[in-house]
Amino acid sequence: MINELLETAILAAKTAGIILKDGFGTNFRIDSKVGKNNLVTEFDYAAEKSIIETITKKYPNHRFLAEESGNSGSTSEDEIIWVIDPLDGTVNFAHSIPIFAVSIAAMQNGELLCGVIYHPMLDEMFYASKGGGAYLNGNKITVSDSEDMHTSLLVTGFPYNVDKNPYDCVGTFVKIVLNGIPIRRLGSAALDLAYVACGRFDGFWEADLYPWDVAAGVLIVQEAAGKVTKYDGNKFEIKDVTILASNGKIHNQIKDVINQ
């Protein structure tokens, strides 16, 4: 069953990716949601509609938790739920910066079954299934082997309401910076997690994210032999408000700095 779910997720991501790639750099409508610079475009909606249609054709009774349309589908609590971000990195997309992704995960009773993150501009498909490992375009991936936080490359992001400093996100950033650690900020939590999974980044932290931002990426990191927790080191659930993902070897080092 999981393999069929994964195949469907990959197909849905590819189809949505075509929509996004075709729309990239064109003239399109941009609207604002709640929060500064919290944008949504017509392609967010079009990609999400395409994903839901692709999945519904195969699984008409499944549920959906999607960024733009919220909850929909079956009301059965036992049914599989698809967690979807049709365009993670909307601000980048709106500014013609080619760093964004489609993120799709399937879960049941709180357990992640499969996850897909697709970067359409590079045609990079990251995917994983529970117990099946993590892959990039058919090649198995694993996290990096960096053992020292100070020689690692980390990545993070900021919430749209960063001016309110939720969960002391600014203070946490300063703590890491003052340790002299190189940091990047891509503007897509899904890609941040995918890049940790394949070893491009050694660790990622962020606060105030939503389930659709992280669901697929969490499973991909875990299946790539990485580690994902909350800031305090306890088990991460997709509705948690802080996330720390790493290669595992530097996890406690980052955690200790965050919790100073």
pLDDT of residue 41: 76
Based on the fold, state whether residues 165 and 95 are members of the same structural domain: no
- Inter-residue contact 170 to 150 (CB < 8 Å): no
Q: What is the pLDDT of residue 42?
A: 83
Domain shared by 164 and 126, yes or no: no
The CA distance from 146 to 42, in Å, is: 41
Please give the residue range of the domain that contains residue 103: 2-140
Domain boundary residue, one of 73, 105, 140: 140
Q: How many CA atoms lie within 13 A of 197 on its CB side?
A: 30
Token code pair at residue 16: 């949505």
Q: Are residues 115 and 237 in the same domain?
A: no
pLDDT tens series, the chain, 260 aa:
789 999 999 999 999 999 999 999 887 676 655 555 556 678 888 999 999 999 999 999 999 999 766 665 554 556 899 999 999 999 999 999 999 999 999 999 999 999 999 999 999 999 999 999 999 999 999 999 999 999 999 999 998 888 889 889 999 999 999 999 999 999 999 999 999 999 999 999 999 999 999 999 999 999 999 999 999 999 999 999 999 999 999 999 999 999 99
- What is the residue type of 195? Y
Whether 52 and 97 share a structural domain:
yes
Give residue 27's pLDDT. 74
Are both 89 and 106 inside the same structural domain? yes
Residues 201 and 218 in one domain: yes
**How confident is the model at residue 248, as a pLDDT?**
99
The pLDDT value given to residue 57: 97
pLDDT at residue number 175:
95
Number of domain units in the chain: 2
Dihedral class, residue 208 (left if φ above 0, else alpha if ψ from -120 to 50, else beta): left
Say if residue 134 is in the same domain as residue 155: no
Do 169 and 126 lie in one domain? The reply is no
pLDDT for position 193: 99
Q: What is the value of pTM for the model shown?
A: 0.93
What pLDDT does residue 37 have? 54
Bridge partners of residue 104, in order along the sequence: 84, 116
- Mark whether 12 and 103 lie in a shared domain: yes
User: How far is residue 245's CA from residue 242's CA, in Å, rounded to a whole number?
Assistant: 10
Output the six-digit token pair for 207.
């606060």
- CA 63, CA 71: separation in Å to the nearest integer? 7
DSSP for the chain, please give it. Answer: -HHHHHHHHHHHHHHHHHHHHHHTTS---EEE-SSTT-EEEHHHHHHHHHHHHHHHHH-TT-EEEETTTEEEE---TTS-EEEEEEEETHHHHHTT----EEEEEEEETTEEEEEEEEETTTTEEEEEETTTEEEETTEE--------GGGS-EEE---TTGGG-GGGHHHHHHHHHTTT--EE--S-HHHHHHHHHTTS-SEEEEES--HHHHHHHHHHHHHTT-EEE-TTSSBP-TT-SEEEEE-SSSHHHHHHHHT-
> Rounded distance, CA 23 to CA 8, Å?
23
Same domain (yes/no): 6, 133: yes
